[in-house]
A and B are shown apart, each in its own frame.
Chain A
Amino acid sequence: MTAGPPLIAFVHVGKSFDDGRVKAVDDVTLEVAAGEFLAIVGGSGSGKTTLLRLANRLIEADTGAITVEGQDVRALEAVSLRRRIGYVFQSGALFPHISVGNNIGITPRLMGQDAAATSARVDELLDLVRLDRAQYRDRFPHELSGGQRQRVGVARALAAKPRIVLMDEPFGALDPITRDALGDDYRSLHMKLGLTTVMITHDITEAILLADRIAVMRAGRLVAQGTPSELSNSNEPYVSELLRTPRRQADRLRMLLPRETGA
């Protein structure tokens, strides 16, 4: 999976806020291979969200270089760069004044696609995220549950057929069951559509369950990266600390919920 040129690469990237007083991202070098599902894990203030936003120029880097599909993002027009990268926002961030269908079709429409093609694409996407076309396309965001809203958020991100999807804590605000179902559904979309996904989460368990590879950030620095098994061998104290909780939970779950035998 890590073979071939990286689809997204951060090289010695730095970004600070408040006239340099706060270093949000500090000298990060990180590559995301084509087809990879990378999770960036860290606490609040670790710089993970800033790093994600640097990739589609919602924020501009101070130092270092970022390339997407081999091109330096600074050489690209920010608006068209964003149109070709899907972005799923925390808790959906759907536009409340337009219908589900119009939310999903927004990027194709901005790109000048005609109404009939956009409409067909919207139906296709509703199917993909497993929402009933007839029932949901004309509803408004406030009429949806949290899970349904986030499904629409995913559909909106996929509308313009991006190769890359960036996700900012997409499932953070959902209840565990919805979150699990949505995570699985997205993972299969990732595989099926051959996407390259970078997902931010503060939940290491979610990262382990969904991602191919995990990058761990703390205080703006990238402290470790690797597959879950590579991370479990890390001697970085913060990584061990992060892994302690899922390990303990797994042990307790194994003890409390013996495997269903036979039946």
Chain B
Amino acid sequence: MSLFSDPRWGEALAHLPDYLGNHVRVSLTALGLGLLVSLPLAIAARNQPLMRNALLGVASIVQTVPGLALLALFYPLLLALASLSLAWFGSGFSAFGFLPAVLALALYSMLPVLRNTITGLRGVDAGLLEAAQGVGMTPRQSLFMVELPLALPVIMAGIRTAAVWVIGTATLSTPIGQTGLGNYIFAGLQTQNWVFVLFGCLSAAVLALAVDQLLALVETGLRQRSRLRAVFGAIGMAALIAATLVPSLVRSPSSYIVGAKTFAEQYVLSALIAERLRAAGLGATTREGLGSNVIFEALVSGDIDVYVDYSGTLWLNQFHHTDIKPREELLRELKATLAQQNITLLGELGFENAYALVMSRKLAEALAIRSIADLTSHAPAMSIAGDYEFFSRPEWAGLRQAYRLSFRSQRQMQPDFMYAAVAAGEVDVIAGYTSDGLIAKYDLVVLDDPRHAIPPYDAILLLAPARASDTALRGALEPLLGKIKIDAMREANLRAAAGDGASSPATVARWLWEKVDKR
């Protein structure tokens, strides 16, 4: 199969109008907002050293915050503001997706615009400023007729830099719920779909270059007083904006939104849920790649309608329990807690995706390790790897305490690479996931947890408050409850991570539906 006959290119292309449209919308809105704030600030600060230094200092600090973190920070901030607004004015707003993305990206765009505008304006020849005064210009006339036109090339260079930065950074807004070209990249990385990753990177790069060139056209048009160029540039930008508005206008507003976190299993399950809803004649779209901290709040505020979470995750992370209860009891309490927030726990899907300590079969057999308890004496000579959150999660603290574990070294790894690493002997133990298909693929063993240090992680279906009594939705989803077995889920996850033409979440979801017991 040649590179371009891969069906995933076609699948990627099918998402393009939606992803590109959203990407352009969020980037240009952020850039526009950034300009609206930065330009007047830069103009006001240009002759005031204190304000100028303060502004540039703050903007530089913002720039040093990694884009992903900045975007993630805006979500809880807006969430707090939204609840304040609800309390004070009786109306809230959605802290999900567009708004936090626009605000964070606008903030991100400010440094190049501020710096170049200030530099450009201060670079205007003092003799010309005096001439502007001398011929009888007011300060305002001098600004608009002399200073800004002369500083234009430098200012435009800043705007172009900001545009490229914003378009690039906007790919990171997927986890806070803003659809964009980042969806290709996040989905691709999670499901080993390198076609998607490549497609996302390329389309973001092409978009950045296109916007940069259009702005360059506007700039040279303005500078050379060539109406034609300026008009072409402006028409190009307008066409870009118009083209991106079309898909959002034709999208049906009444469809259900299915959320998915940032890993392969979630992509498959959200595709399965969307497929079931469509089969029941309900409209459905998916919102994928949402951060685990974002997705629950998005459900509470109704930005998404349904998603799959895991009992232990909610128990520990969302409700901050430190004790671990037996499975049934934990589910019962969780259901009651969720009900207080008007969230419906519709039921369990039938499998668990728990953390588990995993080793290669060879090493485990050589050392006669069957359970975590057997690991205690070997641990000081061993290394362990986990995903980016594992070592800060309560179950790691619980495990260490329960089994007196003390490893020689611990590393954080991209989950997809952990299993290969433990199979290859690069690390001795990994904190894997029980539903991961790679466990079977690499012939790894899951160590028992006789002291129940790791809480149960039943996959559970959650419904948004507004959907609590939606019988059509419940009816479409009930056939899934209790019917997805761990073996089927592992196989599905393995297929989703295969990185070939048949590994798209939709294809795997259809395979999984075949495996579901439909009696």
Q: Is B150 in contact with A87, judged by CB distance below 8 angstroms? A: no
Question: Is B149 positioned at the interface, with any CB of A under 8 Å from its CB?
Answer: yes
Whole-angstrom CA separation of A107 from B136 in the bound complex:
7
Q: Tell me if B11 counts as interface (CB < 8 A to partner A).
A: no
Chain B proximity mask over A69-110: 1 for CB below 8 Å, otherwise 0: 000000000011011000101110111110000000011001
Chain B CB within 8 A of A213 CB: no
CA distance A232 to B341 in the complex (A): 100
Q: How far is the CA of A107 from the CA of B150 in the complex (A)?
A: 19
Q: Which residues of chain B are near A106, meaning CB under 8 Å?
A: 135
Interface status of B127 (Cβ within 8 A of chain A):
yes
Are the C-beta atoms of B141 and A110 separated by less than 8 Å? yes
Q: Do A89 and B133 touch across chains, with their CB atoms under 8 A apart?
A: no
Question: Are B134 and A89 in contact, with the CB atoms below 8 A?
Answer: yes
- With A93-B127, A110-B141 as known contacts, state yes or no: A82 contacts B133, CB within 8 Å: yes
Interface residues of B in 220-251 (CB under 8 A from A): 223
Q: Are B135 and A82 in contact (CB under 8 A)?
A: yes
With CB as the reference atom, state the residue of chain B lying closest to A99.
Answer: B225
- For residue B137, which residue of chain A has the nearest CB? A110
Given contacts A95-B146, A96-B150, A110-B141, contact A89 B136 (CB under 8 A): no
* Interchain CA distance A106-B145 in the complex, whole Å: 10
Partner of A87, one of B128, B134, B145, B223: B134
Residues of A26-67 at the interface with B, using a CB-CB cut-off of 8 Å, are: 56, 58
Bitwise interface map of B from 48 to 85 toward A, beta carbon under 8 Å scored 1, else 0:
00000000000000000000000000000000000000
Q: Which residue of chain B lies nearest to A102 when distances are taken between CB atoms in the complex?
A: B145
| Cα of A97 to Cα of B138 in the assembled complex, Å | 18
Q: Are A58 and B134 in contact (CB under 8 A)?
A: yes
Q: Is the CB of B138 within 8 A of A79?
A: yes
Cβ of B137: which chain A residues have Cβ within 8 Å of it? 79, 110
In the complex, A15 has a CB within 8 A of chain B: no
Q: Which of B130, B149, B223 contacts A93 (CB 8 A)?
A: B130
Complex CA–CA separation, A79 to B133 (angstroms): 8
> Which of A83, A91, A106, A160 has most chain B Cβ within 10 Å?
A106
Query: In the complex, what distance in Å separates the CA atom of A156 from the CA atom of B134?
Result: 11
Tell me what chain B mostly uses at the interface: helix, strand, loop, or mixed.
helix
Chain B residues, CB < 8 A from A58: 130, 133-134
The one of B130, B133, B134, B150 that contacts A97, using a Cβ cutoff of 8 Å: B150
Tell whether, in the assembled complex, residue A110 and residue B134 are in contact, meaning their CB atoms are under 8 Å apart. Answer: no
The residue that A56 contacts in the complex, of B128, B132, B134, B150, with Cβ under 8 A, is B134
Query: A111 within 8 Å of B by Cβ?
Result: yes
Complex: A56 Cα to B136 Cα, angstroms: 10
The 8 Å CB contact of A95, one of B131, B136, B138, B223, is B131
A89 touches B141 (CB 8 A): no
Contacts of B138 in A (CB 8 A): 79
Residues of B within 8 A of A90 (CB): 127
The proximity string for B residues 138-160 relative to A, scoring 1 for CB distances below 8 Å and 0 otherwise, is: 10010001100110000000000
**Nearest chain B CB to A230's CB is how many angstroms away?**
31
Q: Given the complex of chains A and B, what is the CA–CA distance between A87 and B146 in angstroms?
A: 17
Within the complex, what minimum Cβ distance (angstroms) separates A229 from chain B? 33
A interface majority secondary structure = loop
A59 CB to closest chain B CB, in angstroms? 10
Number of A-B residue pairs, CB cutoff 8 Å, is 50
Within 8 Å CB of A80, what residues of B? Answer: 136
Could you say which residues of chain A place their CB within 8 Å of the CB of B150? 96-97
Which residues from A are CB-within-8-Å of B132?
A: 95
CA–CA, A95 to B149, complex, Å? 10
B272 to chain A, nearest CB (A): 62
For chain A residues 129-157, which have a beta carbon within 8 Å of chain B?
156
Among candidates B131, B136, B145, residue contacting A79 with C-beta atoms closer than 8 Å:
B136
Report chain A residues within 8 Å CB of B127: 89-91, 93
Alpha-carbon distance A94/B145, docked complex (angstroms) = 13
Chain B residue with minimal CB distance to A156?
A: B135
- Bound Cα distance from A222 to B137, whole angstroms: 31
Q: Provide the residues of chain A in CB contact with B134, threshold 8 Å.
A: 56, 58, 82, 87, 89, 93
| CB pair B128 A93 closer than 8 Å | yes
Contacts of A91 in B (CB 8 A): 127
Nearest chain B CB to A69's CB is how many angstroms away? 16
A97's nearest neighbour on chain B, judged by CB, is B149
| Beta-carbon contact of A89 and B131 below 8 Å | yes
Picked from A93, A96, A111, the residue with its CB within 8 Å of the CB of B136 is: A111
Residues of the A chain whose Cβ atoms lie less than 8 Å from the Cβ of B135: 82-83, 87, 106-107, 110, 156
When each residue 324-345 of chain B gets 1 if its CB lies under 8 Å from chain A and 0 otherwise, what string results? Answer: 0000000000000000000000
CA distance A160 to B136 in the complex (A): 10
Q: Nearest chain-A residue to B127 (Cβ)?
A: A93
Find out whether the CB atom of A83 lies under 8 angstroms from the CB atom of B136. Answer: yes
**Contact, CB under 8 Å: B130 / A110:** no
Q: Chain B contacts of A83 at CB under 8 A?
A: 135-136
Which residues on A sit within 8 Å (CB–CB) of B141? 110
Q: Which residues of A contact B145 (CB under 8 A)?
A: 95
A58–B136 CA distance with the chains assembled, in angstroms: 10
CA of A229 to CA of B447, assembled, Å? 113
CB distance from A53 to the nearest CB of B (A): 8
Q: How many Å from the CB of A116 to the closest CB on chain B?
A: 20
Within the assembled complex, what's the spacing in Å between the Cα atoms of A93 and B146?
12
Of B130, B146, B149, B223, which contacts A89 at CB under 8 A?
B130
1/0 per residue, CB under 8 A from B, across A159-178: the answer is 01000000000000000000
Chain A: which residue is nearest B223 at the CB level?
A: A97
Which residues of the partner chain A approach B130 to less than 8 Å between Cβ atoms?
58, 89, 93
From residue A170, how far is it (CB to closest CB) to chain B in Å? 13
Q: Which residue of A lies closest to B152 (CB)?
A: A97
Chain B proximity mask over A184-195: 1 for CB below 8 Å, otherwise 0: 000000000000
Contact A95-B128, Cβ < 8 Å, known A79-B138, A110-B141: yes
Most B Cβ at <10 Å: residue of A87, A90, A94: A87
Q: Which residues of B contact A111 (CB under 8 A)?
A: 136
The answer for the CA separation of A48 and B161 in the assembled complex, in Å, is 46
Specify which chain B residues have a CB less than 8 angstroms from the CB of A95 in the assembled complex: 128, 131-132, 145-146
Chain B residues with Cβ below 8 Å from A94 are: 131
> CA separation between A91 and B127, bound complex, in Å?
10
Min CB distance, A95 to chain B, in Å? 6
Interface of B toward A, CB cutoff 8 Å: 127-128, 130-138, 141, 145-146, 149-150, 223
Q: 8 A-B contacts, Cβ less than 8 Å apart?
A: A58-B134, A91-B127, A93-B128, A93-B134, A95-B145, A96-B150, A107-B135, A110-B137
14 more A-B residue pairs beyond the given contacts A96-B150, A106-B135, with a C-beta to C-beta distance below 8 A: A58-B133, A79-B136, A79-B137, A82-B134, A89-B130, A90-B127, A93-B127, A95-B131, A97-B150, A107-B135, A107-B136, A110-B135, A110-B136, A110-B141
Residues of A whose CB lies within 8 Å of any CB of B are 56, 58, 79-80, 82-83, 87, 89-91, 93-97, 106-107, 110-111, 156, 160
Ranked 9 nearest A-B pairs via Cβ: A83-B136, A93-B131, A87-B134, A82-B136, A93-B127, A97-B149, A107-B135, A106-B135, A89-B131
